[in-house]
């Protein structure tokens, strides 16, 4: 029996769904100093105000080809930072992480700054209605628990007083 050392070529394609590239970019940008958020526009912000949303793909639009990626994002920048340097950092992070994970070349990164805020204003604006309701419910629970403790103390005081009278 004769063995051959030739490798059989396996045919096929490797493709990336846009959601995968969006997620890579969203996670890569999560620690860029001066970038408060990637913004999904008015309706996305409205939804974020109602329910907590950890969707890192929000506000990241991509076109994915066989070898290249183009990116459009909308951001909220921190007040006081140099936005042109922030843009350079964003481009570099996107290029590096997409290349590292997919071997695709990022050929275009378009950033639209839709707002600037202080960190404090951003944190205040990031509290959703869900957070407010949860916080209010927790506050009420603690208040009721405190009142229940007071009632329990009064009941015990009355029992002690009644025991002393008897």
Structure tokens at 58: 């929000």
Using an 8 Å Cβ cutoff, are 25 and 73 in contact? Answer: yes
Q: Summarize the chain as % helix, strand, coil (round to 5).
A: 50, 20, 30
Neighbour-count burial of 124, counting CB atoms closer than 10 A to its CB (0-12 exposed, 13-18 middle, 19+ buried): exposed
Calculate mean pLDDT across residues 138-161: 74
pTM of the model: 0.62
What is the rounded distance in angstroms from the CA atom of residue 30 to the CA atom of residue 152?
A: 49
pLDDT tens, residue by residue, 77-136: 999 999 999 999 999 999 999 999 999 999 999 999 999 998 888 888 776 555 556 556
């Amino acid at each position: 029996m004769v063995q051959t050392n030739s490798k059989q070529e396996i045919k096929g394609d490797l493709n990336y769904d846009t959601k995968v590239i969006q997620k890579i970019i969203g996670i890569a940008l999560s620690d860029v100093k001066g970038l408060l958020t990637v913004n999904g526009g008015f309706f996305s912000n409205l939804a974020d105000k109602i329910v907590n949303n950890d969707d890192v793909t929000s506000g990241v639009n991509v076109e994915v080809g066989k070898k290249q990626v183009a990116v459009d994002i909308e951001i909220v920048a921190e007040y006081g930072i140099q936005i042109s340097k922030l843009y350079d950092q964003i481009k570099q992070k996107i290029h590096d992480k997409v290349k590292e994970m997919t071997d695709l070349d990022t050929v275009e990164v378009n950033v639209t700054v839709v707002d600037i805020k202080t960190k404090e204003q951003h944190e205040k604006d990031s509290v959703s209605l869900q957070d407010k309701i949860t916080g209010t419910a927790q506050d009420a629970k603690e208040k009721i628990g405190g009142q229940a403790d007071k009632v329990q103390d009064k009941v015990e005081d009355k029992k002690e007083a009644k025991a002393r009278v008897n």
